[in-house]
């Protein structure tokens, strides 16, 4: 999701059936449909981040946040939870304003920070594949 600094983490995992059920039951006010749940997970954080991987598995109506799955590298997801949306935005006015699409308290950069050079790039994320 971050095309300017590289491919992002992109660690993949499959959502176990038990967590698919949990994802549907996690918001009792909003009955979900299995087709709304993302089961082929692809980590949404930046490349080389520390800690567990996260991907959004279900978008909820309203402002209570979205459902995210968490997993450790090379393992099945063990956990889904409703996480509040990250409240950061890029601070630009009008149409240039872009909010972070990740969850509150996430590691690494905000999703809009791809082209934001005010933040220092992490080691290992710069220009690995700039060859023509």
Q: What residue ranges bind Zn ion (CB under 5 A)?
A: 9, 11, 43, 45, 53, 86, 88, 100, 102, 110
User: Minimum CB separation from Zn ion for residue 116, in Å?
Assistant: 11
Min dist. Cβ of residue 61 to Zn ion (A) = 21
72, 52 in Cβ contact below 8 A?
Answer: yes
By beta-carbon proximity to Zn ion, the closer residue of 107 and 126 is 107
Residue 21: CB minimum distance to Zn ion, A: 24
Residues in a beta bridge with 42: 12
In the complex, least distance from residue 28 CB atom to Zn ion, rounded to whole angstroms: 27
Of the pair 24, 68, the CB lying nearest Zn ion is at 68
Name the DSSP letter for residue 23. Answer: H
With residue 42 as reference, give the H or E element that holds it: strand 40-42
Comparing CB distances to Zn ion, the nearer of 64 and 90 is 90
Helix (H) or strand (E) holding 58, with range, is: strand 53-58
End-to-end CA distance of the chain: 22
The phi-psi region of residue 56 (left if phi > 0; otherwise alpha if psi is between -120 and 50; otherwise beta) is beta
Q: Closer CB to Zn ion, residue 11 or residue 24?
A: 11
């Amino acid at each position: 999701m971050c095309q300017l600094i590289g491919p992002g983490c992109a660690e993949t995992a499959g959502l176990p059936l038990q967590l698919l059920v949990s994802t549907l039951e996690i918001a009792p006010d909003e009955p979900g449909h299995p087709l709304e749940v993302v089961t082929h997970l692809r980590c949404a954080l930046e490349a080389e981040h520390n800690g567990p991987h996260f991907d959004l598995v279900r978008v909820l109506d309203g402002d209570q946040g979205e459902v995210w799955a968490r997993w450790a590298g090379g393992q099945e997801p063990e956990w889904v939870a409703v996480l509040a949306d990250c409240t950061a935005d890029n601070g630009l006015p009008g149409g240039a304003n872009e909010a972070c699409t990740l969850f509150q308290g996430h590691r690494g950069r905000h999703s809009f920070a791809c082209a934001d050079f005010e933040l220092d790039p992490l080691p290992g994320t710069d220009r690995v594949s700039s060859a023509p």
